[in-house]
Amino acid sequence: MSNNGTQKILVIDDSATNVVLLDAILRKEGYEVITSLTAKEGLKYVSSINPDLILLDLLMPEVSGFDFMKTFNKMEKKKDVPVIIVSAVGTSENKQLSKELGAVNFINKPVDIPALINLIKTTI
């Protein structure tokens, strides 16, 4: 948990619509939300904001969610930051690779909001 008692969630998704939706829902639940439309930018945020949780899309241009996880796993600050994958491509292969790369869970798009909120609360 962050110092001020408000838990920070970093949302990384190349869809502005998804980012705006998740931002609004999570803020309503009392979380501090930081958003990024690229995995590359998201990696920079990890170093500076120390999030309590990351919600990560897999299919993004340039740097995919998988590539993000590979780099993230090498970072000093990643220690205990859980990553939940939020993706429209919920194949068993993607779920398995996500788990192998350290994701704690996988939510399919379109997102079941109550299920996501529940998962977030039990994860952080």
**Residue 38 counted as domain residue:** yes
pLDDT band at 53 (very low <50, low <70, confident <90, very high): very high
pLDDT attached to residue 76: 77
| pLDDT value at 5 more than 70 | no
**Residue 15 counted as domain residue:** yes
Place of tokens 């993706």: 87
As a whole number of angstroms, the distance between CA 34 and CA 49 comes to: 9
Tens-place pLDDT, residues 22-44: 999 999 999 999 999 999 999 99
In what helix (H) or strand (E) does residue 34 lie, and over which residues does it extend?
Answer: strand 32-36
**Residue 22 counted as domain residue:** yes
Contact 86, 117 (CB under 8 A): no
DSSP labels, 62-75:
SS-HHHHHHHHTT-
Please report the sign of the dihedral spanned by the C-alpha atoms of residue 33, residue 3, residue 66, residue 116.
negative
Q: Look at phi and psi of residue 59 and say left if phi exceeds 0, alpha if psi is from -120 to 50, else beta.
A: beta
Q: Taking the CA atoms of the chain, what radius of gyration do you get in angstroms?
A: 13
CATH number at residue 84: 3.40.50.2300
DSSP helix/strand/coil, 120 = helix
**Residue 82 counted as domain residue:** yes
Residue 95 domain boundaries: 8-123
Task: Look at the chain and report how many structural domains it folds into.
Answer: 1
**Residue 2 counted as domain residue:** no
Tens-place pLDDT, residues 61-77: 899 999 999 999 998 76
**Residue 1 counted as domain residue:** no
Instruction: Extract the tokens encoding 55.
Output: 């919600």
DSSP helix/strand/coil, 84 = strand
**Residue 3 counted as domain residue:** no
Instruction: Extract the tokens encoding 44.
Output: 């920079």
